[in-house]
Structure 1
Amino acid sequence: MNRGTLIVIAKEPVAGRVKTRLQTEFTAHEAAALARASLVDTLNTVRSARASRRVLALDGDPGPWLPEGFEVIGQRGDGLDERLAAAFEDAFDGTPMVLVGMDTPQLTADLLSVRWSGYDAVLGLTEDGGYWCLGLRKPDPRALIGVPMSTDHTGRDQLRRLQDLGLRVLMLPTLRDMDTPRDASVIAAAHPSLRMSRLYRRLQHAAHPGLLFEQALGGTTRVVATGIDGRTVPSLSELDRWRSPADEVDRLALSRCEGPVLDVGCGPGRIVTALAERGIPALGVDISPRAVSLTTSRGAAALRRPVQERLPGEGRWGSVLLMDGNIGIGGDPADLLRRCAELVRPDGLVLVEVDPDDDLDETAPIVLRSSTGRRSTPLPWARVGTRALLRHAHAVRLHPTEDWRAGHRAFLTLRPTA
């Protein structure tokens, strides 16, 4: 379209306000960054297309992501149908208008080269039932007001509305919107040179470990822990068991506990819940909001806090637990045992689940990998067997009182040295 107006309708890419459906796999800030990259790709394409004017109808404030050559108008209206109708009215200068959104970064300048001869409107549908493009020769609120938006039949309803008004409609190719993580993956694979695609690849290999742990706890995706070399870490890949109620081996370990009990790295709370059912006062601590939420939803007590920060009952806990390989937290077993010795009372108990390999003493970082392809940044961790743990315990003045195995799991109990 050599003569006419190209309109981009968009939201300011602010975390928490855009691309919330991406947050099943990405943080709010990551989702906003993907939205911003998609918007920049779209704006750059529109800037390179042939047009007499380029307008950005924006909900929010422009930022450094906005290239030169665009007039900015604010959005007005309540629903999306009203905002679209208002954008056409506010941008109209007597020439045909084509409006696109910010969710199709794969858009090309050729797609926007509309030949209006013989047509009154333009429509490009999306694979999810919506539409990525709408063109009108002149604004007409009847073409938009009342059309149901954000449904799997919005595109069909919009086409029917245009035809009911007697408009001759030029259909453009169907594109895929970037609404879900799957959409982002498909677009990035098909169009690797996009800014959005490059960012997507970086984010895929640099997820925050806490995010993947949250997803695993929520059951939205399967997550495994591996070493840097990619080999699975068995003791950290049993999240299904962590989400289940305490099993027979757990209950055997808990029979050693003396209340009150502090469960370090409580996860979804199966241990704290089992202790509460026995009538033993217990508190779980974890840095995961979802873990704390799951624990409290079971009727048990939990606190969101790193173990190294100040905790309730310092030096008065009857037992401190490091179950499920949590001796590895932070990657320094001696430092973690020293902290447990500070938390427990002088005659208290520190119960540690160790690796079944007695000789294992490994402090290499781990990486969390999700079934959706995301990989976390390295997480400091340790894996120790009985012999290594005894060395670390001796260094912080904890002495062993019991060493036992149940099934494929191994445990040690320790007490402060008098």
Structure 2
Amino acid sequence: MTTGTLILIAKEPVPGRVKTRLQTEFTPGEAAALARASLADTLATLERTPARHRVIALDGKPGAWLPPQFRIVAQRGDGLDERLAAAFEDSYTGLPMLLVGMDTPQITGPRLTVDWSGYDAVLGLTEDGGYWCLGLRQPDERALLGVPMSTDHTGSDQLTRLEGLGYRVKLLPTLRDMDTPQDAAAIAAAYPELRTARLYRRLVHAASPTLLFEQALDGAPVTAMGSDGSPLLRLSEMDRWQAPADDVDRLAISRCEGPVLDLGCGPGRIVTALAEQGVPALGVDISELAVRQTTDRGATALRRAIHDPLPGEGRWGSVLLMDGNIGIGGAPAALLERCAQLVRPNGLVVVEVDPDDDLDCTEAIVLHSAAGRRSTPLPWARVGSRAAIRYAAPAGLDAAEDWRTGDRAFLTLRRVHDRSRPVARSVRAPT
């Protein structure tokens, strides 16, 4: 049996313009990649399905992903109802038409090979209340214009409209479309052979660490694991990082001499506390969200990697590595060398270290989200005071103070003029 005309209504898979609801778990680029994969799966099925004509109603520019068997018509109209009506009108050749979207990569040829005997229209509903296909014997804008789109009752409203026009409607099986990360996971699990499923599995196990860190900033539960799967860092402590500076934080920044540079500032509680005290301070973080949260607090922050050029190099009074940021990059010696480059002569580097004085671990960590995403390995280090002092010495940083309060431990390091002289022994200061 041959279907008359198959129509695919689709958007060019451009990051930021497609699959925006997937971006709660995926970057815009990853969401666009999933959209491209879904589009490729759908096009492959349409290619295999017997049809007299194949049309793609496209929003955007055609690319290499478009098979030659498809005639392209540009989408026109304002709302989706107008664009759907126009797609039927622009694709009509006198044969029945079946239109599908790009959000159900699991569709199969048999589902699209419709027996129109005794029917005027075809409708396939989706689990979220929409529909994945609509078939009409001939264009009829009355069937579409004014039907509310993108709601949890669009499918039922569309059915009501068709039946109200006296159409005999053939209902196809209900499918799940891919709008949310949960949808993508379910489709990938149920149809593992799809290109969409293969890409989903790769993305789930290779998330950007920055993406998962930003999810933690937004309040999602994220855990840092070692290579053996043991929990190492609880990013649930983000609650403390999001709160105003506490007494321990204020004790640490009381050691600072201005101006202050906070490396890996996160959501900016330290920079904000310094600004409230009238101390010039700048936060630096690679996370766009962290910088925005810092500036939203009224403090100053810059999106920049630590080893990129930074303002005022060699002139900062103090550099801060709070919240275990001595671990950034997994190379504490190189990081402390960078801090020494940033502070002025006799300037300070205040480092929060691990409470275990003897700890010296440079094991990479992997971030895990509650939704099942896993980051690529992130170079990280966890060091106690003794290891930090040892790493600081070649950088010309003298351990001036070694102190702790509660379950948090700190070092105050001072940049010495003459790196050839011995580094002073640390002093465990009372708190």
Q: Deviations over 1:198-227 (max 9, x none)?
A: 0000000111111111111122x2111112
Q: How far is 1:271 from its partner?
A: 0.7
Distance 1:40 1:74, change over 3 A: same
Query: Hey, what does 1:269 align to over in structure 2?
Result: 268
Deviation at 1:309, TM superposition (A): 2.0
1:25-174 equivalences in 2 (<5 Å) = 25-174=25-174
> Does 1:16 find its partner at 2:45?
no
What is the aligned partner in structure 1 of residue 241 from structure 2? 242
The answer to whether the 8 A contact 1:225-1:237 is kept is no
Query: How far is the alpha carbon of 1:140 from its aligned partner?
Result: 0.7
Shift of 1:376: 0.8
| Corresponding residue for residue 428 of structure 2 | none
Partners of 1:235 and 1:200 in 2: CA distance: 26
Letter in 2 for 1:36: R
Q: 1:98-121 CA distances to partner (integer Å, 9 max, x unpaired)?
A: 110000001111111211111100
Is 1:359 the counterpart of 2:333? The answer is no
Contact 1:235–1:325, Cα closer than 8 Å, also in 2: no
C-alpha displacement of 1:307: 1.8
Name 1:393's counterpart in structure 2.
Answer: 392
CA deviation after TM superposition for structure 1 residue 16, in Å: 1.4
* Residue 310 of structure 1, CA deviation: 2.1
User: SS at 1:7's partner residue?
Assistant: strand
Partner of 1:298: 297
Deviation at 1:252, TM superposition (A): 1.6
Q: In 2, Cα distance between the equivalents of 1:179 and 1:121?
A: 25
SS of residue paired to 2:173: strand
1:237, distance to aligned residue in structure 2 (A): 5.5
Q: Residue 202 of structure 1 aligns with which residue? A: 202
Considering only aligned residues, what root-mean-square deviation do their CA atoms show, in Å? 1.3
State the SS of the aligned residue for 1:324. coil
Corresponding residue SS for 2:207: coil
> Does structure 2 conserve the Cα–Cα contact (< 8 Å) formed by 1:235 and 1:355?
no
Residue 65 of structure 2 aligns to a residue whose secondary structure is: coil
Structure 1 segment 270-349 matched on structure 2, within 5 A:
270-349=269-348
3-state SS in 1 of match to 2:215: helix
Q: Which amino acid aligns with 1:213?
A: F
Q: 1:298 Cα deviation (Å)?
A: 0.6
- Which whole-Å CA distance do the structure 1 matches of 2:338 and 2:193 have between them? 49
Counterpart amino acid of 2:2? N
Q: What secondary structure is seen at the aligned counterpart in 2 of 1:52?
A: strand
Which SS does the other structure have where 2:229 is aligned? coil
Q: State the Cα deviation string for residues 296-315 of structure 1 (Å, max 9, x = none).
A: 11111111112222222222
- What amino acid sits opposite 1:263 in the alignment? D
1:93, CA displacement in angstroms? 1.1
Shift of 1:234: 3.0
Between the two proteins, what is the percent identity of the paired residues?
A: 73
TM-score, normalised with respect to structure 1: 0.97
Partner of 2:420: none
> Closer, same or farther in 2 for the Cα pair 1:317/1:12, shift >3 Å?
same
Shift of 1:3: 4.2
Which blocks of at least 5 consecutive residues in structure 2 are unaligned?
418-431
Q: CA deviation at 1:90?
A: 1.2
Q: Distance in 2 between matches of 1:370 and 1:312?
A: 34
Letter in 2 for 1:183: D
Which residue is equivalent to 2:424? none
User: CA–CA distance in 1 between the matches of 2:313 and 2:14?
Assistant: 41
> Aligned partners of 2:196, 2:69: CA distance in 1, in Å?
21
Alpha-carbon distance in 2 for matches of 1:263, 1:173: 57
Within 2, Cα distance between the matches of 1:68 and 1:312? Answer: 53
The aligned counterpart of 2:369 is 370
Amino acid at match of 1:376: S
Local SS of the residue matching 2:200: helix
1:191 equivalent in alignment to 2:203: no
- Tell me the distance in 2 between the aligned counterparts of 1:236 and 1:113: 51
CA distance, structure 2, for counterparts of residue 364 and residue 8 of structure 1:
49
Residues 257 and 417 of structure 1, relative CA distance in 2, 3 Å threshold: same
Count of residues in Structure 1 that have an aligned counterpart in Structure 2: 417
Contact 2:221 2:236 in 1 (8 A): no
**Any idea what the Cα deviations from partners look like across 1:54-77, whole Å, max 9, x if unmatched?**
211111222222234222222122
Question: Contact 1:329–1:382 (CA<8 Å) still a contact in 2?
Answer: yes
Distance 1:212 1:104 in 2: 27
SS at structure 2 position matched to 1:234: strand
Runs of 4+ displaced beyond 4 Å: none
Instruction: Go from structure 1 to structure 2 and tell me whether the alpha carbon gap of 1:236 and 1:389 turns closer, same or farther (over 3 Å shift).
Output: farther
Opposite residue 67 of structure 1, the aligned amino acid is P
Check the 8 A contact 1:236/1:324 in 2, yes or no: no
Letter of the 1:359 counterpart: D
Distance 1:370 1:163 in 2: 45
Structure 1 residue 197, shift from structure 2 partner: 0.5
Q: Does the CA-based 8 Å contact 2:216-2:235 persist in structure 1?
A: no
1:392 deviation in Å?
A: 0.7
8 Å contact kept, 1:8–1:102: yes
Q: Distance in 2 between matches of 1:322 and 1:49?
A: 60
Which residue in 2 is equivalent to 1:229? 228
Unaligned runs of 5+ in 1: none
The answer as to whether partners of 2:214 and 2:289 remain within 8 angstroms in 1 is yes
SS for the counterpart of 1:4 is strand
TM-score under structure 2 length normalisation: 0.94
TM superposition shift of 1:361: 1.1
In the TM superposition, what is the alpha-carbon distance from 1:286 to its structure 2 partner? 0.8
Counterpart code for 1:295 = T
